[in-house]
Amino acid sequence: MPELPEVEVLRRSLEPRLVGRRIAGVTVATPALREPLDRATLEERLLGREVTALRRRSKYLLIDLVGGPSEPPPSTLVVHLGMSGRLTVVPDDEPPARHEHFSCRLAGGGRLRLVDPRRFGVVLALPTAGLDRDRHFAFLGVEPFAASFDGDHLRRAARGRRGPVKPFLMDARVVVGVGNIYATEALWRAAIHPRRSVGRIGAARWDRLAVAVREVLADAIAQGGTTLADFTDGEGNAGYFQVSLAAYDREGEPCRRCGAPLRRFVQAGRSTYFCPACQR
């Protein structure tokens, strides 16, 4: 469910509600997420600490923490929402929700909780120092809003590789944060066929694609993300970029550029939508 824009929207909404707050309690209700939750480590690295900042790397939300009884080194709560995760702050008297697998009680009131029906999410606590050498982050590629992400980056990354451009664009070693929706949308914006081989894309097309990726992500962030079923920000608000989707989930509907009916097919196990007339 959440790609980069949704995690960024979540980060921005939670930041003012969490920075400066202290974690007074940790509850692990369901350890069996994509990776088992380690209650002892979570307690050790979270309890009694104060939130200093919220960051994002790829589709991971990073909640930085300092302090605690024994002056421990800074730690970071890492949360990945998987497909169906929702992270929100709710009042203390809010009863535990179905699929509320993990929560932190905040000193002074409120509870940060993860609700995740499909349990593809990840929650872990790591030392802040050396975070990017952790296995979850060590092999991640460039952030799409970094200065180094451009057509040239894509062109060089594609060198020596084969296969269609859409799975390439979704490969986090190439560029992070671009999932099925935004890969579909970026290719539509750049008028590139999702099946086009990466070996048959010239510099001009790579440039166009890099611009399209950045634009579609920025537009989605500005509109609060895409809510297909269950994405919300940290206060429970839905996004509304779904009304701006030009290709995703629009099989049979007219292309907004040329009017031809959009088509759907399955690529690398995921639904892909494209305009057979103007995406080449």
Q: Please tell me the distance from the alpha carbon of residue 47 to that of residue 44, in angstroms, as a whole number.
A: 6
- Residue at 176: amino acid letter: V
Query: Does residue 166 have an active-site annotation?
Result: no
Query: Does residue 3 have an active-site annotation?
Result: yes
Q: Does 59 bind DNA (CB under 7 A)?
A: yes
Q: Which of 53, 126, 218, 228 binds DNA (CB under 7 A)?
A: 228
Determine contact, residues 219/203, Cβ cutoff 8 Å. Answer: no
Name which of 266, 215, 267, 259 is nearest 241 in CA terms: 215
Q: Which of 56, 67, 270, 278 binds DNA (CB under 7 A)?
A: 270
Q: Which of 29, 146, 222, 229 binds DNA (CB under 7 A)?
A: 229
Determine contact, residues 146/213, Cβ cutoff 8 Å. Answer: no
What three-state secondary structure class fits 151?
helix
Active-site option among 59, 86, 113, 250: 59
Query: Does residue 2 have an active-site annotation?
Result: yes
What is the SS3 assignment for 193-208? CCCCEHHHCCHHHHHH
Q: Please tell me the distance from the alpha carbon of residue 123 to that of residue 23, in angstroms, as a whole number.
A: 15
- Closer Cβ to DNA, 75 or 267, answer by number: 267
Determine contact, residues 175/153, Cβ cutoff 8 Å. Answer: yes
Q: Does 136 bind DNA (CB under 7 A)?
A: yes
Q: Does 224 bind DNA (CB under 7 A)?
A: no
Binding mask 37-56 for DNA (x = CB under 7 A): --------------------
Binding mask 147-186 for DNA (x = CB under 7 A): -------------xxxxx--xx-x-x------xxx-----
- Shortest separation between residue 156's beta carbon and DNA, angstroms: 13
- Shortest separation between residue 117's beta carbon and DNA, angstroms: 4
User: What are the C-alpha distances in Å from 36 to residues 60, 101, 128, 130?
Assistant: 17, 11, 20, 22
- Shortest separation between residue 210's beta carbon and DNA, angstroms: 18
- Closer Cβ to DNA, 49 or 59, answer by number: 59
Name which of 135, 22, 130 is nearest 73 in CA terms: 130
Please enumerate in sequence order all residues whose Cβ is within 8 A of that of 60, keeping only pairs 6 or more positions apart, or say none. Answer: 7, 78, 79, 80, 122, 136, 137
Q: Are strands 122-127 and 111-115 parallel, antiparallel or unpaired?
A: unpaired
- Shortest separation between residue 91's beta carbon and DNA, angstroms: 23
Positions 74 through 113 that interact with DNA (CB under 7 A): 80, 82-84, 98-99
Binding mask 2-21 for DNA (x = CB under 7 A): xx--x---------------
User: What are the C-alpha distances in Å from 136 to residues 55, 146, 194, 260?
Assistant: 15, 19, 28, 41
Q: Does 226 bind DNA (CB under 7 A)?
A: yes
Q: Which of 12, 57, 119, 257 binds DNA (CB under 7 A)?
A: 119
Q: Show which residues are catalytic.
A: 2-3, 59, 270
Residues within the interface to DNA (CB under 7 A): 1-3, 6, 32, 34, 58-59, 80, 82-84, 98-99, 117-120, 136, 160-164, 167-168, 170, 172, 179-181, 198, 225-231, 266, 268-271
